[in-house]
Amino acid sequence: MTDRYAVIGYPIGHSKSPMIHRLFAEQTQQDLSYEAILVDTDDSSFQWAIADFKNQGYKGINITVPYKLDAFETADQLTERAQTAHAVNTYIFNEDGTITGDNTDGIGLINDIELNGDRLFKNQKVLILGAGGAVQGILGPLIDKLPATIHIANRTAHRADVLGKRFITDIPISASGWEDIPAQHYDIIINGTSASLEGKLPPVSAEVIGENSLVYDMMYGQKPTVFMDWAHQAQPNCQTMDGLGMLVGQAAEAFYLWRGVRPETAPVIQTVREQMQQS
């Protein structure tokens, strides 16, 4: 019998997850189905919606905007990284009827940069732009990789400071508003804001980019994002990446949690990108 999985959100029609998991299943010869399902909790509560998926026999689901906090609050048990992120994007429906909530966003980004970008975080100076939910999900796994320093910059410096102080670590974590980012080159620069979706840039000086910097935008599209273009104009030799690999990477981690098999992400990223460019 084919095992059933899904991603839920509102909206959901744009989701690449069904294609990604179909490619993973083909690659690893797993018998499963994966759907994108619109859930509008104006009609029913989130808990009722999840109970319905369990009753229908689903083995697990992914959760996307705007339900990651609802998923965090509804899970019966949480993994350490879900607790750290204060958000859940993956549910495992256990045989005893309980739900385990996990967050695979952070490890998706880490693996994309380290494996596909060929850049290790260890001993690197890292600049993170933004302090919202996306950044909350990546900080724990990033700290585990032992960078030299982490600086979090945000529109409101207080929010960045509060986020940084949630973590007990020997790694120096500093915080500031946009205008007070320490003037130096950073080895890895991560844009965790959604500015690129609107064709905008965080108000950051290009002086933070060195010629050996890796500049990463969590957003992605058919073309390089405005943040990636800005980085190349400032420093033509820098390396840039968008967030498509993070999307595929977090899906691969969820797939591994469900199936016990870890798929290769690079060929799937290439296939999804080619499909995006054709559409």
- Phi-psi region at 57: left, alpha or beta (left = phi > 0; alpha = psi -120 to 50): left
Q: Are residues 117 and 99 in the same domain?
A: no
Output the domain CATH number for residue 135.
3.40.50.720
Output the domain CATH number for residue 79.
3.40.50.10860
Beta bridge partners of 137: none
User: Averaged over 116-142, what is the pLDDT?
Assistant: 94
Q: Each residue of 49-82: pLDDT tens digit?
A: 999 999 999 999 999 988 998 999 999 999 999 9
Tell me the Cα Rg of the chain.
19
Single pTM value for the model: 0.94
Kindly tell me if the per-residue pLDDT of 44 is higher than 80: no
Q: Are residues 129 and 159 in the same domain?
A: yes
Look at residue 197 in the predicted model and tell me its pLDDT. Answer: 87
Q: Are residues 97 and 183 in the same domain?
A: no
Q: Are residues 136 and 12 in the same domain?
A: no
Q: Are residues 146 and 216 in the same domain?
A: yes
Cα–Cα distance for residue pair 32/42, rounded to 1 Å: 30
Q: In angstroms, what CA-CA distances link 49 with 45, 55, 173, 175? A: 6, 10, 39, 39
Q: Are residues 141 and 219 in the same domain?
A: yes
Does 145 participate in catalysis according to the annotation? Answer: no
Kindly tell me if the per-residue pLDDT of 43 is higher than 80: no
Q: Are residues 272 and 236 in the same domain?
A: no
User: Averaged over 237-251, what is the pLDDT?
Assistant: 97
- Total count of domains within the chain: 2
User: Averaged over 20-49, what is the pLDDT?
Assistant: 93
Q: How many helices (H) and strands (E) does the chain have?
A: 10, 12
Q: Are residues 147 and 185 in the same domain?
A: yes
Contacts of 84 (CB under 8 A, 6+ apart): 103, 139, 140, 166, 167
Per residue, the 3-state secondary structure of 28-70, as one string, reads HCCCEEEEEEECCCCCCCHHHHHHHHHHCCCCEEEECCCCHHH
Q: Of all residues in the chain, what percent carry a pLDDT higher than 90?
A: 90
Q: Of all residues in the chain, what percent carry a pLDDT higher than 70?
A: 99
Cα–Cα distance for residue pair 85/132, rounded to 1 Å: 10
Average pLDDT score, the chain: 95
Range of the domain at 273: 3-103+245-278
Look at residue 215 in the predicted model and tell me its pLDDT. Answer: 98
Look at residue 134 in the predicted model and tell me its pLDDT. Answer: 84
Q: Are residues 111 and 99 in the same domain?
A: no
Q: Are residues 122 and 179 in the same domain?
A: yes
Q: Are residues 120 and 218 in the same domain?
A: yes
Max alpha carbon distance in the chain (Å)?
58
Q: Are residues 134 and 256 in the same domain?
A: no
Pairwise pLDDT comparison (43 vs 181), residue with the higher score: 181
What sign for the dihedral angle of Cα 103, 109, 114, 119?
A: negative
Cα–Cα distance for residue pair 127/216, rounded to 1 Å: 10
Active-site residue, selected from the candidate residues 16, 59, 68, 125: 68
Cα–Cα distance for residue pair 175/169, rounded to 1 Å: 15
